[in-house]
Amino acid sequence: MAVKQDKSGKWLVQIDRQGIPRVRRSFPDRKSAERFEKDYLLAHQQKPASGDRRSLLELINLWYRYHGVNLSDGKRRRAILEQMAIDLGNPAAADLTPERFLEYRYHQTTRHVKPPSAKTLNNRLGYLDAVYRQLKKLKIIDYFSPLLEMDKIRLHEHQSSYLSDDQITQLFDALKGYRNESVWWIAQICIRTGARWGETEKLKRRQVHNGKLTFEFTKSKKVRSVPLDALFYDALVKFIGFKQPEDRIFSDSITAFNRAVKKAGIKLPRGQATHILRHSFASYFIMNGGNILVLQKILGHSDIKMTMRYAHLAPDHLSDAVKFNPLSDDRIGGKLAVENAKNRQ
């Protein structure tokens, strides 16, 4: 059983694995629960079977055959894992140590070529750790992940960027001039619904119905429906015309969008591109008083922590800091501070 929250809000850890003493405990927060689980498993970690000398590449291939092939990004992840194994010297999988991985990470960040970001390195650690975890679960190996106790690099949190009203106008003015009409419609849907570009670009006729768009094959692997305002929906249906239910509505248009952004003179943060439309929808949704839980459902986030990135944009976010600070206007200290400020003028 993974770390799980019960109805009372406490986080439960239940470990019931062969060869390990059973344990069940509750904690006030998720971080404490995960830390206990990790420490407990490490304390009772079994040594690898002496005869298991399969290489890291062999384990990666087994992981892909029995698990990775079923993931939406399985091929991409396997390619990343195989390159990691080569960079690590393809050791016997049981011999990999945290120190060896740290050496790999150090060389990745100090090489002369453009180094990978901290987030990318964290993803790689997670991918490799998941290989061991999954194969242990399938009883293909009989030892725990040697990376079980490794911490990821702490990342600085950045505010998500969004388009200003003027930039939105400039962008859609630039999009109007394209022979490829799909690019305008895709961008409109993304900024009106918070959908990802790929989800929208591949929409089929049957996914447009009853004033809503239904998105399938999403990142969270869940189907979600988002309504459109009536005027835009009617115009979209007219644009679609007489397409069959399985026909795609739009053509591939990401290149045209990137050109339009450049034409509009909009400079986007690195790595955002079409995602700026999704960020803009979410940002304006919260700034205009939308509910964060509703936003989570619209965006299709499986974890509320992803949606909470936009919470600071709410009109009343942390407004109690003004009301209850020691120098607030309705307290003695605040009044004295205001009077002193006036006297200094």
Per the document, the length of the chain is 345
Which one of the listed residues 196, 224, 279, 284 is annotated catalytic? Answer: 196
Residue 49 in this model has a pLDDT that exceeds 70:
no
pLDDT of residue 235: 96
pLDDT in tens, 25-45: 888 888 888 888 877 777 766
Q: What angle do CA 123, 129, 130 make, to 5 degrees?
A: 90
Q: Using alpha carbons, list the distances in angstroms from residue 151 to 32, 88, 122, 262.
A: 14, 19, 9, 39
Which one of the listed residues 275, 297, 309, 331 is annotated catalytic? Answer: 275
Residue 199's nearest CA partner among 176, 222, 229, 179 is: 222
pLDDT in tens, 325-345: 666 555 544 454 445 555 555
- Decide if 275 is catalytic: yes
Which one of the listed residues 105, 124, 278, 279 is annotated catalytic? Answer: 278
Residue 200 in this model has a pLDDT that exceeds 70:
yes
Q: Using alpha carbons, list the distances in angstroms from residue 185 to 164, 205, 290.
A: 19, 14, 24
Domain 165-313 has CATH 1.10.443.10: yes
CA–centroid distance for 309 within its chain:
11
Q: Where are the domains of the chain?
A: 1-44, 53-156, 165-313, 319-345
pLDDT in tens, 268-287: 877 778 999 999 999 999 99
Residue 11 in this model has a pLDDT that exceeds 90:
no
Q: Using alpha carbons, list the distances in angstroms from residue 5 to 2, 9, 14, 303.
A: 10, 6, 11, 13
Asked if 297 and 206 count as a contact pair (C-beta separation under 8 A), the reply is no
pLDDT of residue 334: 47
Which one of the listed residues 64, 104, 162, 310 is annotated catalytic? Answer: 310
Residue 134 in this model has a pLDDT that exceeds 70:
yes
Query: Read out DSSP for 23-52?
Result: EEEEESSHHHHHHHHHHHHHHTPPPPPTT-
SS3 of 160, please? coil
With bands split at pLDDT 50, 70 and 90, how would you rate the model's confidence at 47?
low
CATH architecture, domain defined by 53-156: Orthogonal Bundle (1.10)
**Percent helix, strand and coil across the chain, each to the nearest 5:** 50, 10, 40
Which one of the listed residues 10, 44, 202, 219 is annotated catalytic? Answer: 219
Q: Using alpha carbons, list the distances in angstroms from residue 44 to 4, 37, 41.
A: 21, 11, 5
- Residue with more model confidence, 71 or 128: 128
- Decide if 222 is catalytic: no
The one-letter amino acid code at 226 reads V
pLDDT of residue 339: 55
Asked if 299 and 278 count as a contact pair (C-beta separation under 8 A), the reply is yes
- Decide if 196 is catalytic: yes
With bands split at pLDDT 50, 70 and 90, how would you rate the model's confidence at 178?
confident
SS3 of 311, please? helix
Cα dihedral 104, 105, 110, 114 in deg (nearest 10): 110
Is there a common fold for 53-156 and 165-313? no
Phi and psi at 241, nearest 5°, equal: 70, -135
Mean pLDDT of the chain: 86
Placement of tokens 């009617």 in the chain: 234
- Decide if 67 is catalytic: no
Residue 159 in this model has a pLDDT that exceeds 70:
no
Asked if 236 and 208 count as a contact pair (C-beta separation under 8 A), the reply is yes
pLDDT in tens, 212-257: 999 998 877 789 999 999 999 999 999 999 999 999 999 999 999 9
Percent of the chain residues past pLDDT 70, beyond the cut:
86
- Decide if 219 is catalytic: yes
> Quick count: other Cβ atoms within 10 Å of Cβ 343?
7
Which one of the listed residues 136, 202, 301, 309 is annotated catalytic? Answer: 301
Q: What angle do CA 329, 332, 337 make, to 5 degrees?
A: 65
pLDDT of residue 114: 83
